[in-house]
């Protein structure tokens, strides 16, 4: 990845630099032309892994206010940069060009915590510059070769004579010694994500799906020991590795693009599963995650363990072949066995540390895992489905009384229940997971933890001004203690949770609230060049305002990019049941975005296309042979 200022220069400040494998290979790359720093006029991302910077300068004196040289820098995250000079001068110009380079070869963790060391001394090698440090050596080469290279100053120099209308180019390449060329997993023939497209009346729809898929492809990683298995990095720049819960959640939201990403993610995580004895037996490990001011950090390993069987069950509905399903069944069964062991002393899944609370969203994950897992066990001829359904029924009965707080506003679900029975009453975006019940056979949604009246009340709360910022769902309601619009769990809009809320509200028949949240995210996407960040400030939308970026947000982000896919496919309400040979459509009534056409999706291993007209009627335009439209 590459991080720079909007003028395209790398000054070595903060996180700026070219990175590979979590190490900064180049921290400084400053360009001067004719003794001046070009004036930046435009900077934009042209893809998830590419950026273009345009600057100008006046190389001829006395020519008035118009620039006569344009400087373009096309930068790629693979470690290349092409600098192009274009002259519009009326006479030939001589342009001295200097590029100042430097590096500390620091790792990302040290840089983020302010512990990066000083720049290393450079040496001249092959017309370029070379640096050596503990555990790494890096070179910057240039084409054409510079006319001069100064190791002491880290400078490469050229002189170009441009005729009127002439151009000159320099290509820089940053390479780590001993490392092969960067080959992005998403740019090869084995890319697991379908090249779907969207068209329609709303101008944001086509670009949002395109950039969402582009971001997902940019974040694909291969398991080094099993290169056929790909999964998603959590996001750049902060979480460039595997985050199990995020990888599973993103793969689930991306199922309309095919099941290969889900299968690869499941295989990668199955190899990490705890097989020994003890309370962790069967768990997918994961780090702890901050949960805001009201709750202790959450165990993402527990969330991943509950997501694993749910993803496998739904991937089978979308067309995962039986052979691959069978291969993953032992790991899914171990996850479900862990769930039953974790609830042996009561209906709730508690945090795995003494005195840990029972969190609202964890109960939702557990309930979904039990019902979808039972469905999966029955379909594969495995025992245990009946016991899981019985436990899920007991959980529903207990949750509807134990987790519901009555108040004058109609009540609300508690955020968590403490071991002594006390309830934490703050309303946060985690409650949206109560609406995400999962997909069963015949295109049916699994029953939820809330009854119909409670679901209606939750819909009103999520669609109310305290939670709906106008840009999406806040992480915490504005009336709650510790609310902070920049708090990543206490008020910021998290795109993943907003998409979960939109899909859940639409499935439950609450289209008005779903549509409001959907329109808010689409409006935010437009201001972010259709490349949604992981989160942004939950400040209230007002006429003429724009969402405020969060300084710690990943962009691209796996869950935000996959959320873009979920948001758009929710409009068509695609509910496949490949084993039964059917696909059911439950489009959002009223067609809130007008007509939308989705092509190139994948259902049952084949291309799938659907059109939702302006009256809210859906029509399948392409599908696998033998796939029937369900009722």
pLDDT the model gives residue 438: 97
Cα distance between residue 69 and residue 127, in whole Å: 26
pLDDT tens digits, one per residue of 394-407: 999 999 999 999 99
Q: How confident is the model at residue 560 (pLDDT cuts 50, 70, 90)?
A: very high
C-alpha dist (Å) from residue 88 to 55, 58, 80, 167, 626: 14, 10, 26, 9, 61
CA neighbor of 42 nearest in space, from 52, 34, 57, 31: 52
Is residue 155 within 8 A of residue 100, CB to CB? The reply is: yes
| Interstrand relation of 167-176 and 80-87 (parallel, antiparallel or unpaired) | antiparallel
Virtual torsion, Cα 615, 620, 622, 625, nearest 10 deg: -170
pLDDT tens digits, one per residue of 535-553: 999 999 999 999 999 999 9
Backbone angles phi, psi at 83, to 5 degrees: -105, 120
pLDDT the model gives residue 183: 66
- Statement: residue 599 has pLDDT above 80: yes
pLDDT the model gives residue 185: 66
* 26: region left, alpha or beta (phi > 0 left; psi from -120 to 50 alpha): beta
pLDDT the model gives residue 281: 95
Virtual torsion, Cα 138, 142, 145, 149, nearest 10 deg: -50
DSSP line for 524-542: HHHHTTT---SEE--PPP-
pLDDT tens digits, one per residue of 131-149: 999 889 999 999 999 999 9
Q: How confident is the model at residue 479 (pLDDT cuts 50, 70, 90)?
A: very high
Q: How confident is the model at residue 470 (pLDDT cuts 50, 70, 90)?
A: very high
As a whole number, mean pLDDT of residues 157-176 equals: 96
3-state secondary structure 373-384: HHHHHHHCCCCC
DSSP line for 390-416: HHHHHHHHHHHHHSEE--TTS-EE-SE
pLDDT the model gives residue 362: 98
225's CB contacts (< 8 A; 6+ apart) are none
DSSP line for 186-231: GGSTT--S---EEEESSTHHHHHHHHHHHHHHHTEEEETTEEEEEE
pLDDT tens digits, one per residue of 436-453: 999 999 999 999 999 999
As a whole number, mean pLDDT of residues 567-587 equals: 97
Is residue 159 within 8 A of residue 567, CB to CB? The reply is: no
| Interstrand relation of 17-20 and 2-3 (parallel, antiparallel or unpaired) | antiparallel
C-alpha dist (Å) from residue 607 to 564, 565, 631: 19, 16, 21
Q: What percent of the chain has pLDDT over 90?
A: 87
Q: How confident is the model at residue 233 (pLDDT cuts 50, 70, 90)?
A: very high
As a whole number, mean pLDDT of residues 188-210 equals: 92
pLDDT tens digits, one per residue of 253-263: 999 999 999 99
| Interstrand relation of 28-33 and 10-11 (parallel, antiparallel or unpaired) | antiparallel
Q: How confident is the model at residue 189 (pLDDT cuts 50, 70, 90)?
A: low
pLDDT tens digits, one per residue of 285-301: 999 999 988 899 999 99
CA neighbor of 600 nearest in space, from 211, 197, 208: 197
pLDDT tens digits, one per residue of 49-104: 899 999 999 988 776 788 999 999 999 999 999 999 999 998 999 999 999 999 99
Is residue 399 within 8 A of residue 448, CB to CB? The reply is: no
pLDDT the model gives residue 182: 67
Cα distance between residue 423 and residue 429, in whole Å: 17
pLDDT, mean over the chain: 94
- Statement: residue 600 has pLDDT above 90: yes
């Amino acid at each position: 990845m590459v991080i720079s200022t909007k003028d395209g220069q790398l000054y070595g400040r903060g996180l700026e630099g070219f990175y590979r494998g979590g190490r900064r290979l180049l921290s400084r790359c400053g360009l001067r032309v004719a003794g001046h720093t070009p004036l930046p006029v435009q900077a934009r991302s042209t893809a998830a892994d590419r950026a273009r910077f345009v600057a100008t300068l006046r190389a001829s004196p006395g020519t008035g206010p118009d620039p006569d040289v344009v400087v373009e820098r096309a930068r790629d995250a693979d470690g290349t940069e092409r600098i192009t000079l274009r002259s519009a001068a009326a006479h030939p110009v001589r342009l001295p060009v200097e590029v100042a380079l430097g590096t500390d070869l620091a790792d990302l963790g040290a840089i983020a915590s302010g512990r990066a060391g000083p720049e290393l001394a450079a040496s001249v090698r092959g017309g370029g510059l070379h640096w050596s440090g503990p555990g790494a050596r890096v070179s910057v080469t240039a084409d054409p070769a510079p006319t001069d290279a100064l190791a002491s100053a880290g400078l490469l120099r050229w002189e170009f004579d441009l005729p009127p209308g002439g151009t000159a180019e320099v290509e820089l390449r940053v390479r780590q010694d001993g490392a092969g060329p960067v080959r992005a997993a998403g740019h090869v023939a084995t890319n697991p994500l379908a090249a779907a497209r969207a068209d329609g009346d709303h101008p944001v729809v086509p670009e949002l799906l395109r950039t969402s898929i582009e971001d997902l492809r940019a974040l694909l990683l291969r398991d080094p020991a099993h290169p056929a298995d790909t999964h998603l990095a959590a996001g750049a720049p902060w979480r460039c590795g595997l985050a199990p819960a995020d990888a599973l959640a993103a793969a689930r939201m991306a199922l309309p693009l095919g099941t290969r990403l889900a299968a690869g993610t499941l295989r990668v995580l199955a190899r990490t599963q705890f097989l020994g004895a003890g309370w962790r037996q069967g768990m997918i490990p994961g780090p702890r995650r901050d949960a805001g001011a009201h709750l202790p950090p959450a165990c993402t390993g527990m969330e991943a363990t509950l997501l694993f069987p749910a993803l496998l069950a739904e991937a089978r509905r979308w067309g995962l072949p039986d052979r691959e399903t069978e291969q993953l069944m032992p790991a899914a069964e171990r996850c479900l066995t862990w769930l039953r062991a974790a609830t042996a002393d009561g209906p709730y899944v508690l945090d795995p540390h003494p005195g840990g609370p029972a969190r609202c969203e964890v109960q939702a994950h557990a309930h979904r895992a039990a019902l979808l897992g039972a469905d999966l066990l029955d379909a594969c001829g495995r025992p245990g489905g009946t016991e899981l359904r019985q436990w899920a029924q007991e959980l529903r009965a207990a949750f509807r009384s134990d987790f519901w707080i009555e108040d004058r506003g109609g009540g609300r679900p508690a955020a968590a229940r403490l071991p002594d029975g006390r309830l934490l009453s703050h309303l946060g975006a985690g409650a949206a997971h109560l609406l995400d019940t999962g997909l069963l056979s015949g295109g049916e949604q699994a029953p939820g933890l809330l009854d119909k009246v409670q679901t209606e009340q939750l819909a009103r709360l999520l669609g109310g001004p305290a939670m709906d910022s106008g840009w999406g769902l806040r992480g915490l309601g504005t009336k709650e203690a510790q609310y902070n619009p920049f708090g990543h769990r206490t008020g910021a809009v998290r795109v993943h949770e907003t998409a979960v809320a939109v899909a859940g509200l639409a499935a439950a028949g609450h289209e008005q609230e779903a549509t409001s949240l959907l329109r808010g995210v689409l409006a935010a996407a437009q201001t972010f060049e259709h490349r949604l960040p992981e989160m942004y400030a939950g400040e209230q939308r007002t006429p003429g305002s724009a969402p405020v970026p969060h300084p710690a947000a990943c962009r691209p982000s796996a869950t935000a990019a996959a959320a873009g896919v979920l948001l758009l496919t929710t409009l068509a309400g695609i509910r496949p049941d490949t084993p039964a040979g059917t696909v059911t459509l439950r489009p959002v009534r009223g067609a809130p975005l007008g007509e939308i056409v989705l092509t190139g999706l994948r259902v049952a291993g084949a291309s799938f296309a659907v059109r939702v007209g302006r009256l809210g009627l859906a029509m399948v335009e392409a599908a696998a042979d033998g796939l029937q439209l369900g009722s």
